[in-house]
Amino acid sequence: MRPSGRSHDALRPVSLTPGFSRHAEGSCLIRMGNTEVLCAASVEGRVPPFMRNSGQGWVTAEYGMLPRATHTRGEREAARGKQSGRTQEIQRLIGRALRAVVDRSKMGEVTVTLDCDVLNADGGTRCAAITGAWVALSLAFRHMQRMNVIKTLPLIGQVAAVSCGISAGDAVLDLDYAEDSSADADANFVLTDAGGIVEIQGTAERSAFSEAQFLGMLGLARQGVAALFEAQREAVGGA
C-alpha cells in the first residue's frame, strides 16, 4: 500500500489553471496533489547572443521555489546570492524539454522564457513544471498568433513529464514527497504525445536497479502522461 493510499499506477489529482499571471503572455498554475507550480511564459523580442541572426527563436526556463514551499523553510536563493546546483539542473531540464516540441525556425527571433515557481512542494515539482510550462508556452504562442506576430503555431507536439519510483521492489507512478524520500530509485520521464522519449533521468537512491525495473517505470510513465496530455489540451482549449 502506498502512503497516499493510491494504487501503483494512479496519478495524483491534476488541475491546470490558465491565466493565473495577469501580465504574462501565457501562464498556468498546475496542481498535482499538493504540489503547486506557477508557470508563466514571457515573450521578448530578442534572442541570446549565440542565436542572433540565425532566423530562429529561443525557448528557455527559470525555476524557483518560494522559501516556505517546503516543510522547513529553505534559504531564499536571491538572498544567498546564487542559485543552487539543483535549481540550475532543473531549469536546464525544463528548457530542453520544451525546446524538443518547438519548431524554432517558425518563432521569429524572439525568446520565450518560462518562469516556473513552486508555491507549494510535495514531490514532483520539476515534472509538474514541464507539464504546466507547455500550457503556458502554448498560450503565449496563441497570443503571438492573435497579435499577428506569427502565422502558425510553432509547436510540433505536446510534452509532459512524470516521475516514477521503485518502492519495495515495485514500480509506482507519480511519487509524492513521502514516497520520494523512501524510494529505492526514482526516474523522471519527459515524453511526447507522439510516444517519443525526450529525456530520461533515472537515479538509484538506495541501490542500483535492474533493466526490468526501469522498463516497469517507463511503462507506468507512458500511462501517466496520457492523462496529462488530455488535461493540457483542455486547459489550452479553455483559455
Residues that bind a second copy (CB under 8 A): 20-24, 27, 34, 38, 40, 42, 44, 62, 64, 66-73, 76-89, 91-92, 96, 100, 113, 115, 117, 119-122, 187, 191-192, 194-204, 207-211, 214, 218
* Contact criterion met (CB below 8 Å) for 56 and 112: no
What is the CA angle 220-172-164, rounded to 5?
A: 70
| Among 135, 28, 116, residue whose Cα is nearest residue 64 | 116
- What distance in Å separates the CA atoms of residue 164 and residue 216, rounded to the nearest whole number? 9
- At its nearest, how many Å lie between a second copy and the CB of residue 233? 19
SS3 31: strand
- At its nearest, how many Å lie between a second copy and the CB of residue 46? 12
Q: Which is nearer to a second copy, 11 or 136 (CB)?
A: 136
Q: Which is nearer to a second copy, 96 or 142 (CB)?
A: 96
- At its nearest, how many Å lie between a second copy and the CB of residue 12? 14
Instruction: Give start and end residues of each alpha helix (H) in 119-174.
Output: 125-146
Q: Which is nearer to a second copy, 53 or 207 (CB)?
A: 207
SS3 34: coil
* Contact criterion met (CB below 8 Å) for 205 and 186: yes
Q: What pairs with residue 26 in β-bridges?
A: 41
Q: Which is nearer to a second copy, 87 or 182 (CB)?
A: 87
- At its nearest, how many Å lie between a second copy and the CB of residue 219? 9
How many CB atoms lie under 10 A from the CB of residue 38? 22
Q: Which is nearer to a second copy, 69 or 135 (CB)?
A: 69
- At its nearest, how many Å lie between a second copy and the CB of residue 195? 8
Q: Which is nearer to a second copy, 7 or 178 (CB)?
A: 178
- What distance in Å separates the CA atoms of residue 198 and residue 186, rounded to the nearest whole number? 17
**Cell numbers that stand for 50 in this block:** 549565440
- At its nearest, how many Å lie between a second copy and the CB of residue 236? 19
